[in-house]
Each structure stands twice: as C-alpha cells, then as structure tokens.
Amino acid sequence: MKGKENFTTGPQPASKSQRRREALALRDLAAELIGLPPSQLARVPLDPDLRAAIDRAHKIRSHVAGKRQLQYVAKLMRRSESEPITQALEAIANEARQVTARQHRTEAWRDRLLDAGDTALADLKRERPDADAQLIRQLLRNARQEAAHGKPPAAARSLFRVLRELDEDAALPPLGGS
C-alpha cells in the first residue's frame, strides 16, 4: 500500500450512469416541449435554434424522423441552460392543475345542488351572496324534470355554466369532500 497515493482532490466527474440519466431527463424534457401546443410553447424561454428545431419536429410525420428530431432537440438542450425551461413548463402545468381544480369544484357544487336542493342553495347563498338564487332554483327544477323524463341534461349544463361564471368572478368555496 505504500506506493498507492490518492490524487483525487478535485471534483469527481459524473459517472456514465449519471450522464445517461441526465441525457434521458433532457430527452423527456424535449419530448414535453415538442408536445406543447404553439400557444404554450410561446411562453417558454427558448433560444432561436432550439425553437426552430421544435417547430420542425411539429411538422414531421414519420415516426423514425420524429425520433431523430427529438434526439436533435435534446442535443441542443444540452448546450443551453434547462432550468428556465423547466420552470416555465412547471408554471404551465400548475395553471392546468388550477383549471382542473376549478372544474372539479364547480362540478361538485352542481352535483351537491342537484342532490340537496334548497339546503345546498342556502349554503351557496350564504357563502356567495352574489349568486342568483332564483335562476339557480329554476335550473335545478328544470334539471330534475329533465332527469325524470329521461331527457338530455340541458338545464344541468346551464347550471354548471352559471356556477362556472360565479367561480371565475371569485372562487367558489370548497366543499367538504373536494
């Protein structure tokens, strides 16, 4: 052991496995970018070469050529900073989660109003005095009649739209089960 010395004083280079994991993560990020619609892609900070490569990937219809373009986009991403891109994608995903949560909250209120009727309407009116109780009561009555006669749920859809408009003005209060 006398002849062996440890010369590793600086930072260790990444292992081959670690480099592969990083490359796969960048490829997944590139696939996510390619999958974005143009309206959302415009909100992501990309350099012009990367944006052009992604635009080309949108136009490719061949599976093999698409995979090749995906690898090229990932290669371009290795040359640039990926943190701002990741943050922008997270912001887009967060907005989508908020929209979904609002949708579920509105559906829950609609279902509760249809099930509980005036009791739920009183709870809604207590939380949201700006709610049009007369319109909601009328839509509830029509929705029950439609359900009893096996008709399409037009009034229930209208009730959902009224609740969604209320939720857009100010968030509806969450229900106990949602």
Residue 67 CA: distances (Å) to CA of 22, 24, 25, 71, 161: 18, 13, 15, 6, 42
Q: Decide if pLDDT at 135 tops 70.
A: yes
Q: Decide if pLDDT at 147 tops 80.
A: yes
Q: Decide if pLDDT at 1 tops 60.
A: no
Q: Decide if pLDDT at 31 tops 60.
A: yes
Supply the pLDDT for residue 178: 44
Instruction: Give, in degrees to the nearest 5, the angle at Cα 21 between 74 and 81.
Output: 45
Supply the pLDDT for residue 128: 84
Report the largest interatomic distance among the alpha carbons of the chain, rounded to a whole angstrom. Answer: 94
Report the pLDDT averaged over residues 28-45.
90
Supply the pLDDT for residue 68: 94
Q: What is the pTM of this model?
A: 0.62
Cα separation, 36 vs 20, whole angstroms: 25
Supply the pLDDT for residue 119: 86
At residue 123 the predicted structure's pLDDT band, cuts being 50, 70 and 90, is confident
Specify the residue for token string 């219809």: 61
Provide the H-helix boundaries in the chain: 16-35, 38-41, 48-59, 63-78, 83-116, 118-127, 133-148, 154-169
CA dihedral over 83, 88, 89, 90, signed as positive or negative: positive
Tokens, residue 25: 């993560």
Report the pLDDT averaged over residues 72-89.
89
Q: Decide if pLDDT at 65 tops 90.
A: yes
How many other β-carbons are positioned within 10 Å of the β-carbon of residue 113?
24
Report the pLDDT averaged over residues 99-106.
89
Supply the pLDDT for residue 175: 77
